[in-house]
A and B are shown apart, each in its own frame.
Chain A
Amino acid sequence: MRRSALRAVAAAMAAAMLRPLQLLAGGWNKAAFDARAVADALRGIGVTATESGDKIVFKAPEIAENGAIVPLEIASHIPGTQAIYILVDKNPQPLTAVFEFADGAEAFVATRIKMAESSGVRVVARAGGKFYATMRDVKVTIGGCGA
């Protein structure tokens, strides 16, 4: 009796925890992530033209200590920023991450990525139907594809 009650509670908790995840089913942009050329990846996320991204604060290493773990920090000061995209030009598949913000989330994100070799790293911000882009060159001496 007591055990089955506990089990029911556990099941309810699990359902509550997993519910939001199910909203994402099919939410991965396969065409954009599979693209091997930067232009195709940009097209895949709907970018046709970009404006200056000088209101995007993008912190990236000049020389990555290890390509397996390249820390990036991005804050967009463009009003109404809805999404931030990270692309690594010379990775086999350039599109690395998409972040969509809603309901109070700041247009800020920090994460760590893998880089195969020295490359430009692009950050694109989407705001009001327009795209804004900025880029940093990151030198990689220890490639991150074996990791």
Chain B
Amino acid sequence: MADPMKIRAQLQGDLADVKILIFHPMETGLRKDGVTGQIVPMHFIQTLTAMHNGRTVLEAQWSMAVSKNPFLHFRVRGAKPGDKIMVGWVDNRGGKASIEATLN
């Protein structure tokens, strides 16, 4: 996978409408591998932060029951063209990624 995540941010008046998709297996630790029959170890995003021009606007904590390739849609008031929305996450193994979009 070239990109670990994708972001679509639209400005509607002063409202930033943000949708993100993260390419992550979100393994529950309950699933058996179809080929080996072994339990696939738990591997899931635990925390996610969204920032608007460097200020935290949303903090999320997730369990392994958020779907594979998680989707998140949120909205931020008081936004204007040129503002930056950044979203980053950390998983239970310390894996992390972030992405930024500029509103226009």
Q: Which residues of A are interface residues toward B (Cβ below 8 A)?
A: 17-18, 20-21, 23-25, 27-29, 33, 68-71, 73, 88, 91-93, 95-106, 108-115, 144-147
Contact = CB atoms under 8 A, between A and B. Distances in A.
Contacts of A100: 58-60
Interface in B6-61: 15, 26, 28, 30-31, 46-47, 49-52, 54-61
Nearest to A85: B61
A98 B61 contact: yes
A18 B98 contact: yes
Contacts of B1: none
Main secondary structure of the interface of B (DSSP, over half): strand
A20 B73 CA distance: 20
A23 B56 contact: yes
A112 B71 contact: yes
A99 B88 contact: no
A31 to B, nearest CB: 12
Nearest to A70: B67
Contact of B67 (A95, A109, A114): A114
Most chain-B CB neighbours within 10 Å: which of A69, A88, A97?
A: A97
Contacts of B49: 20-21, 23-24
